[in-house]
Structure 1
Amino acid sequence: MTTNTESVVRRSTLMAAGHSNYSVAVRCRPDGPWQQLLPGVLLLKSGPPTRRQRVKAAVLYAGEDAVITGIESLRAHGLHAFDADEVHMLIPGTRRLSSREYVRVERTTRLPRPRVIKGLRYAPPHRAAVDAARRNRDPSQQRALLYAPIDSGLCTIEQIRVEIDAGAQRGTAALRSMLEESLLPSMTNTVQQGWAKRVLHQAPLPPPEWRVSIHSDSGQALGIADAWWDGVGVAWDFGNQRDYGVRQRQEAFLRAGIVVVSTTATELRNNIEGVVQALARAYYAAANRPRPQVHAVA
């Protein structure tokens, strides 16, 4: 028991293995090889614990029915732009446990169904985002926390909204107001781009450029591509397909020799496999014809 999270154990586990209170206390002295991270939870090594060991210790302290939420959960789902010293744990409302050290314990009657990632139980992204945002007082940070999982395709605005409505109402007025921004075209584009990124995680394609203006060789602006593969001249349009301006832009792209893939918002969310196939066919067809004489401007 000397590596990674295996070096984080409950005191009761050591006692069951034959250690005495005295032997554990001696090893946990300031100059000893062990240290106590949380009440009843030890790290069987000296030196600062890793992030993973701190989280594992929080789990052992909070109990097997606890769920990690907030920023630590968002990080586990791949959103590493956020950081916090605190580990936010959710426990059933019937239990009694105090927050200690770096662990914030919250009792709830709405314990989420956890997602197990590398052996630990995490709240789903929409719950983690709301839990993190309602504990933050910086509006820009709140907005980033709410929209980051949407932008990454991990959840929808509707899931965030339902979570806010279902949880405690205190301190959520600002969060509700921020969600209304989703009615703005720029925020709608951001949300749809998040779902598009989710689709591309399953596509055998290189990453595209996002929201770029396409110009002809003579400098004429043809329109903005939601996603653009410059090497082969493929544009992906996943905006409102019924908008006349979109149809005009797609016609301009086609006249310039650009291969265009059009995807509706419903297809982005409900037909990922079909969209991936359409993108792959378009990309490889474009790669086998001369690239059109156009250029992209961010």
Structure 2
Amino acid sequence: MAHLESLGVPPGTSYRRCLPGGPWQRLLPGVVLLRTGDPTRRQLVEGALLHCGDHAVVTGLESCRRQGLKREARPGEPVHVLLPLHLKTTSNGYVVVERTKRMPAPVRAEGLPLAPVARAVLDACRRMRERPPIRALLAEAVQQLGAEPAELFAELESGSKRGTALPRAALLEIASGARSAAEAEAMGVWRRTGLPEPVWNFPLHDERGRHIATPDAWWDDVALAWEIDSYEFHFGQPGYASTLARNNRYAAAGVALVQTVPSRLRTAPRAVTEELVLAYQAAAARPRPPVVLSGRHKRLVHGL
């Protein structure tokens, strides 16, 4: 409103125009939107920055989306903003203000000051209370935003330790080879089987060097592949055709295959565990086919 006053609009005029039925609306204390109707997400973010002042930096999911995360904002999702510790602005309305002594150097996207990816992702994860959405966000940050697990670990260690137990566990799964939230959940199911640890996401070739597939999990001693196949991709066109071709290559090479849809990792982990154990036993009972794993399984060590 101070800007409106500097343009010659009296405070009383602004007040009347923001009353119900008026042409303007009040987003936050001192922040007026000069139109009716629902504000856009961009207008909400700009309103949050006006409310918080020149030192504000947008973090959390909003920062991640502005830097390429393919997620829509949920209705009512707050805008998470960082401010230097000495400032006194507090959370209000849809704005969550976090005052910190670790202000990041902002990156600019669409003219907005944003926390770098690693900081924004971990700021969002620290406020989550369940492992599946944390796994999903971290996996998306690695896949879609190019975040390195080592960079995420460094940010985790540098910041507050509050709310870091679940992100730390999910990061360890991702660093061990999981490329998605579903694969991270698959690692949890594997630990229940008592089977040797498989190799995660390494290419497989036949004896003539022809590519077969890159299984989500692979037990090399018995040539058993485990694929986490979502309905959305693997059983819709053109995903179905590529999945069918992959399965035919497995069969031609003599590879034993277990396919699991992601939902069963959560709803039927015991059944999936039993399927893996039985498949492993059956694979071990037949001669191993002459297939070759490319590369070696590397375990990332972060001193944790």
**TM-score above 0.5, yes or no:** yes
Deviations 1:69-93 (A, max 9, x none): 0111111112132534100000011
Q: AA paired with 1:15?
A: E
Q: Is the 8 A contact 1:69 1:131 kept in 2?
A: yes
1:40 aligns to what?
30
Q: Does 1:61 align with 2:51?
A: yes
* CA–CA separation in structure 1 for the residues paired with 2:86 and 2:145: 34
The percentage of counterpart residues that share the same residue type is 38
Deviation of 1:177 after TM superposition, in Å, equals 1.6
Say if 2:246 is the partner of 1:213.
yes
Q: TM-score, normalising length from structure 2? A: 0.60
Unaligned runs of 5+ in 2: 180-199, 203-241, 256-288, 299-304
Q: Does 1:170 align with 2:162?
A: yes
| Aligned equivalents of 1:219, 1:142: Cα separation in 2 | 36
1:91 touches 1:106 (CA, 8 Å); kept in 2? Answer: yes
Match of 1:137 in 2: 129
**Equivalent residues in 2 for 1:58-97 (5 A)?**
58-81=48-71, 83-84=73-74, 85-97=77-89
Contact 1:70-1:132 at 8 Å conserved across structures: yes
Q: Quick one: structure 1 residues 174 and 44, their matched pair in 2 at CA, closer, same or farther if it must change by over 3 Å?
A: same
Relative to structure 1, the CA distance from residue 144 to residue 45 in structure 2 (aligned partners, 3 Å threshold; closer, same or farther) is: same
User: What is the TM-score normalised by the length of structure 1?
Assistant: 0.61
Q: Is there any run of 5+ residues in structure 1 with no aligned partner, and where?
A: 1-10, 191-208, 224-244, 251-261, 266-298
Q: Distance in 1 between matches of 2:254 and 2:56?
A: 54
CA distance in 2 between counterparts of 1:81 and 1:58 reads: 20
Aligned residue identity for 1:177: A
Question: Which residues of 2 match residues 82-121 of structure 1 at below 5 A?
Answer: 83-84=73-74, 85-121=77-113
**Shift of residue 214, structure 1, vs aligned partner:** 7.2
Listed one character per residue, the Cα deviations across residues 169-202 of structure 1 (whole Å, up to 9, x for unaligned) are 1121222122221353444649xxxxxxxxxxxx
Residues in 2 aligned to 1:26 and 1:59: alpha-carbon distance in whole angstroms = 24
Misfit runs of 4+, over 2 Å:
80-84, 182-190, 212-216, 247-250
- The amino acid of 2:144's aligned partner reads S
> How large is the Cα RMSD of the aligned pairs?
3.4
More strand by share: 1
Alpha-carbon separation, structure 1, partners of 2:8 and 2:49:
23
Secondary structure of the structure 2 residue equivalent to 1:213: helix
Q: Give 2:63's aligned amino acid.
A: S
Question: Do structure 1's residue 149 and structure 2's residue 141 form an aligned pair?
Answer: yes
